[in-house]
Structure 1
């Protein structure tokens, strides 16, 4: 049981890193577009992607904390 939870935790941590990197890339693209031109339509798309990635990162982090709490609860019993 603990092994399965650790695997789930590693996967969730990987998803946190992936969503963080994608959010940073979207932020950098937004900044680059702001410097090159004042197009608001593309900026809005990048900003939506930033928000989506931030929400995904928070969701994965919350799930990872939940898995850690479960691991600690299971480990405390035995």
Structure 2
């Protein structure tokens, strides 16, 4: 069980890093002239999407760490 939790933590931490890099890439390539149908820059929409994805994966990672600590403490 512990090994499975550690692997899940590693995978979710990787997803955090992936979302962070994609968000930074969108920030670095921001072009205010490329607007979507609502008048919002496309790169800004991608930055927001990646920010929420990063926060989601961080929360999942923290929950997995808590579960790992509870399982390890019970043994």
Normalised to the residue count of structure 1, the TM-score between the two structures is 0.86
RMSD over aligned CA atoms reads: 1.4
Match of 2:48 among 47, 51, 56: 51
Runs of 4 or more, structure 1, over 6 Å off, are none
Aligned match of 1:27: 27
Gap runs ≥5 in structure 2: none
Q: Within 1, Cα distance between the matches of 2:3 and 2:45?
A: 37
Give the total of aligned pairs.
Answer: 72
Aligned match of 2:72: 75
Aligned match of 1:4: 4
Gap runs ≥5 in structure 1: none
Q: Within 2, Cα distance between the matches of 1:5 and 1:54?
A: 25
Aligned match of 1:13: 13
Confirm whether residue 41 of structure 1 aligns to residue 38 of structure 2: no
Normalised to the residue count of structure 2, the TM-score between the two structures is 0.89
